[in-house]
Chains A and B, each alone.
Chain A
Amino acid sequence: MLETIAQQPILAALIALVGLGTLFGGLLGFAAEKFKVEGDPIVEQIDELLPQTQCGQCGFPGCKPYAESIANGDAINKCPPGGQATINAIANLLDVPAPELDAEHGEEADVRTVAFIREDECIGCTKCIQACPVDAILGAAKLMHTVIADECTGCDLCVEPCPVDCIDMLPVKETIKDWHWPAPPTTADLIASDRRAQL
């Protein structure tokens, strides 16, 4: 048997190639089953980069759906809370050019805000509690509500449903604890004599 095969090089090559093909095919098939990746990893990666305010300004009900949409080819510049930094990070991840933020979906805020309920005016309607995507509002029907400031993402979804307009979005004040050094002025593009004249 071996001799006949050895004498017919075409048959030998055929058997060897088919054999190798079956072997590697089997290996690949096994690996595909064994190391199967659940879900779409790119969606997870994009979701990691989004700011998780769950504000819906992009037109999707939360950050994860928007991440899914981006993975399916949607524009990456629809997230105002994330701003240019998020756009750049996603562009970097997907290896596409980074566009400017789409003004249609809102503007990038300078300071982070959190919701604050003027508690004297609250009538306890629970509408804001239902609107909050991260369960950051405490309260019960006909009882005063309050916002857990540390949990609030500043999405302002609670402002609109309030029937008595008692919710304000307050800017988060910088404290000594989260202060950090400002960037030094970048004046290196001016020559020294010009800069002295400027001062």
Chain B
Amino acid sequence: MKTWVTPGGVHPPENKHQSLTMPIGTLPLPEKLIIPLSQHIGVPANPCVQIGETVLKGQKIAEASGPLSVPMHAPTSGTVSAIEHRPIAHSSGMLSPCIEITPDGREQWIEHRGIDDFQHASSSALLKTISEAGIAGMGGAGFPTAVKLNAGHQRPINTLIVNATECEPYITADDSAIRERAQEIVQGISILSHILSNPSTILIGIEDNKPEAIAALKPHVEDTGIQVVSFPTKYPSGGEKQLVYILTGQEIPSGKLPADIGMLCVNIGTTFAIKRAVVDGEPLISRVTTMTGDACGINRNYETLIGTPVSHMLANSAFDEKACSRLVMGGPMMGFSLTSAEVPIVKTTNCILAPSFQEIPEDEPAQACIRCGMCAEACPVSLLPQQLFWYSQAKDYERLEAHNLFDCIECGACSYVCPSNIPLVQHYRHSKGEIQKARAEKIKSDHARERFEFHQQRIEQAEKDKEAKRTARREAAEKAKATAANNRETSAPGSAADIIAAAQARAAAKKISPEQQRAKFERSIAGAEMRVSMAEEKLAEADPNRTQEQENILHAAVESARQKLDQARLRLAEHNKAHHGEQVD
């Protein structure tokens, strides 16, 4: 089959044979497993277990939070011993929330079963299974696979590309997985094909430096419509856009995805995880990771549980700390140095490299750029690395964007060929970060402007309302004054008499009838009598040993109650005398 050739690229020493001498091995259970809640692009998962809880192998320990998130599962049975911040595999060396599990050694699986007949299962059911199994792209980006497939599901996908390139030196995880598990991988690809409603072309892209893997795949893909395409080895062929070009000759426009031109790329490790999830019902709890480098006595691939600390891998690989120049997660071109050996293996970790000082020496100090142009020749995206370098140093972000900095795949080919040892990729990464930061700040400041404008408007409105109320009140007062003046003018002569008459009428209205008055007096007499009797009772009941002072107080109370009663009686008598003639009885 015809293949295309990408521009640029380099041919670093492959160093893949060291880790391919032995089949995929397994490590003894580590003392602790540390499962970071954020092993994928997107929102971190939400823990759904408590500290001290016993979990079974494959049990969900963290829920996906939101659509761009995947759940986490216990890699083995044991006890949740901590949920806290730990160092994780991130170039910043920062801490991130993790769940720590202390294995009980029993490896007891939670009840699980797969979908027996996926050919008749619906795409949405399969996508749900994949999403529930916690599968995120295992090639390195860690994009939730179900989300990617779902996006592919909504747009017509005519080409499914399985990425088995593994172009970076030292890494052999995919190679060894294909050699030993070709059948399962092909099964995974047919599940993918079924989900994507059988795309017309299915390609497995693989470099020609893996003849054993190609030979292992060949018998399984016969009569399946899947084509294994091998192409000349060159770094970097494994980038999504590069691989699409190599296999189809089509370029993905800047800022677009393969799905925009009807293609979908999946890593070969992911297809294996999909097979396990769908057919066996097992979530993603382990992956193949290469342990290599001259500082390790044993170079081989391990089926590693997610969460295994790097130190545990090293301890089982005859690691010589003194001989090791640095610990790298990933390959020598795109990997990053680890600040601690305690960080765990995550879903995207394909390699741990422990090179000797001869293999990867300390960074040579950077020298001045001599404008040789080798970086431009090596760039697989046909950018101008030298220009980008100048603009990065000058912090000219506008020009950097104009020179398509964001199309840089950070493959490191330019740094690799640079005779002045300039860490070009690091400059680009920094500039990308700065530009993204500026973009985020721009969004924030626009938002603040909106809020400020709204605030101003609100205050203005409130001021206006107040002003309107004030004017209304003033107008009402003026109006009232005007009417009063008017009245005075019209009825000025008889006004005094009118006022008196009105006052008398008001007084008459207020006056209550003599019966009511009498009833009121009688009520007050009754109340006063009750108070007198209460005061006398109190005097009688009071403590016989009372002091003179207390006795005086009680006597005074009785006396004042009696006086009030007398007053009330007097008032009633007066009233009766006044209204004698009107009395009924």
Separation of A175 and B92 alpha carbons in the complex (Å): 10
Q: How near does chain B come to A72, taking the closest CB pair, in angstroms?
A: 20
B250 within 8 A of A: no
Contact A195 B446 (CB under 8 A): no
Partner of B366, one of A63, A178, A183, A184: A184
**CA distance in complex: A190, B366 (Å):** 9
Inter-subunit contact A188/B367 (CB<8 Å) = yes
Stretch touching chain B among A14-22, A26-34, A130-138: A130-138
Partner of B430, one of A64, A134, A183, A192: A183
Taking the complex as formed, is B153 at the interface, i.e. its CB lies under 8 A from any CB of chain A? no
Known contacts A134-B448, A134-B451; A180/B436 CB under 8 A: yes
A141-B90 Cα distance, complex, nearest whole Å: 46
B440 at the interface (CB under 8 A from A): yes
Closest-by-CB residue of A relative to B336 is A181
The answer to whether A179 and B92 touch across the interface, beta carbons within 8 angstroms, is: yes
A187 and B445: CB pair below 8 A?
no
B451 and A180 within 8 A (CB): no
Q: How many whole Å from B100's CB to the nearest CB in chain A?
A: 18
CB of B481 within 8 A of chain A?
no
Interface string of B437-452 (1 = CB under 8 A from A): 1001100011111011
Is residue B84 contacting chain A, with contact meaning CB distance below 8 A?
A: no
* Complex-state Cα separation, A191 to B368, whole angstroms: 9
1/0 contact string of A60-80 vs chain B (CB within 8 Å): 001110000000000000000
B437 neighbours in A (Cβ, 8 Å): 178, 180
Q: How far is the CB of B186 from chain A (nearest CB, A)?
A: 37
Instruction: Report the bound CA distance from A153 to B452 in whole Å.
Output: 10
With A183-B427, A184-B423 as contacts: A135 and B454 at CB distance below 8 Å: yes
A52/B427 contact (C-beta < 8 A), A188-B368, A192-B365 known:
no
Total A-B contacts with CB atoms under 8 angstroms apart: 89
CB distance from B113 to the nearest CB of A (A): 37
* Interface: A168 (CB within 8 A): no
Pairwise interchain contact A195-B365, C-beta atoms closer than 8 A: yes
B423 contacts which chain A residues (CB < 8 A)? Answer: 184
Interface bracket on B: 35 or more
Expressed in whole angstroms, the Cα–Cα distance for A51 and B440 within the complex equals 12
Cβ–Cβ contact A52 & B366, under 8 A? no
- The answer to whether A188 touches B429 (Cβ under 8 A) is no
Which of B96, B368, B426, B453 is within 8 Å of A184, CB to CB? B426
Residues on the A chain within 8 Å of B451, using CB: 134-136, 151
State whether A180 touches B365 (Cβ < 8 A).
no
Verify if A182 is at the interface (C-beta below 8 Å from B).
yes
Residues of B within 8 A of A196 (CB): 365
Chain A residues with Cβ below 8 Å from B368 are: 188-189
Given contacts A51-B445, A187-B366, A188-B367, contact A181 B452 (CB under 8 A): no
Scoring B residues 39 to 52 as 1 if CB is less than 8 Å from chain A, else 0, what string do you get?
A: 00000000000000
Say whether B94 faces chain A, with CB atoms less than 8 Å apart: yes
Report how far A58 CA is from B456 CA in the complex, Å.
Answer: 18
Given A133-B452, A134-B448, A136-B451 in contact, is the A176-B92 Cβ separation under 8 Å?
Answer: yes
Cβ-defined contact, B452 with A176, below 8 A: no
B432 lies within 8 A of A180 (CB):
yes
Binary per-residue interface labels of chain B (151-166) against chain A in the complex, 1 for a CB within 8 Å, 0 otherwise = 0000000000000000
Contact B430 A181 (CB under 8 A): yes
Q: CA A35 – CA B137 in complex, angstroms?
A: 52
Q: How far is the CB of A37 from chain B (nearest CB, A)?
A: 20
- 29 A–B contacts from the bound complex (CB under 8 Å): A52-B452, A54-B452, A62-B452, A62-B456, A63-B449, A63-B452, A64-B449, A132-B455, A133-B452, A134-B452, A135-B454, A151-B447, A151-B448, A153-B448, A175-B94, A176-B90, A176-B94, A176-B96, A178-B440, A180-B436, A181-B91, A181-B429, A183-B426, A185-B366, A188-B367, A189-B368, A191-B367, A192-B365, A192-B367
Extra A-B contacts (19), CB below 8 Å, given A176-B38, A181-B433, A192-B367? A52-B446, A52-B449, A52-B452, A62-B452, A133-B452, A135-B458, A153-B448, A174-B94, A176-B94, A180-B433, A180-B436, A181-B432, A183-B426, A183-B427, A185-B366, A187-B365, A188-B369, A188-B420, A192-B365
Residues of A within 8 A of B (CB): 47, 50-54, 62-64, 132-136, 151, 153, 174-176, 178-192, 195-196
B residues apposed to A, CB below 8 Å: 38, 88, 90-92, 94, 96, 364-369, 393, 420, 422-423, 426-427, 429-430, 432-434, 436-437, 440-441, 445-449, 451-456, 458
The 6 closest A-B pairs by CB, nearest first: A180-B433, A52-B445, A181-B429, A134-B451, A52-B448, A179-B92
